[in-house]
Amino acid sequence: MAMLKRTISIVRTGRGLSYRSLSSGNHVDKLGMVKALEAINVPSTQAEALTGTITSGLESVVEKVKADIAKSEATLLFQTFEYQSTSVAEEGFNELKAEFETTKYEAVKYAAYTLVAVAAVGSSMLFVMIW
């Protein structure tokens, strides 16, 4: 995605100085700012100092924004990974639970059949002993 580029210009209005965006760009036109300040009778040393201050302030803000965006992207990536991991784990647990229930049913069924078989053999042995 193309970033909008901006240069800042200081212009004289009826109430004093104001900042306005002249063009798109991701840089500050330092020379243009100095010339604009000099055009409104600001000494060149002060104009350069103001331009430097504004530029460093803007660069500082841009760096903070970049850091915040990187942090947000990392957080989003972590949350996505966490959600996917949780979904996979829950799916695995549900499959294991269903398999356990099936196994438990089979074990109870075999135990019941074994008890019935032992009872039948025991009762038939008792019947044979009584005769």
- Checking if the pLDDT of 56 tops 90, the result is no
> Domain of 67?
30-130
Q: Is 78 within a domain?
A: yes
Q: Decide if 126 is inside a domain.
A: yes
Q: What is the pLDDT of residues 107-128, one digit of tens each?
A: 999 999 999 999 999 888 888 8
13 in any annotated domain? no
Examine residue 3 and state whether it is found in any structural domain, yes or no. no
Q: Residue 87 class from Cβ within 10 Å (0-12 exposed, 13-18 middle, 19+ buried)?
A: exposed
- CA 78, 81, 87, 88 dihedral sign is negative
Which of the residue ranges 32-41, 63-72, 80-89 would you say has the lowest mean pLDDT?
A: 32-41
d(CA 64, CA 73): 14
Report if residue 102 sits inside a domain: yes
The chain-wide mean pLDDT, for the chain, equals: 81
Q: Which tokens in the block code for residue 113?
A: 């059949």
- Look at the chain and report how many structural domains it folds into: 1
What average pLDDT does range 27-45 have in this prediction? 83
In a domain, 89, yes or no: yes
Q: Does residue 23 lie within any of the structural domains?
A: no
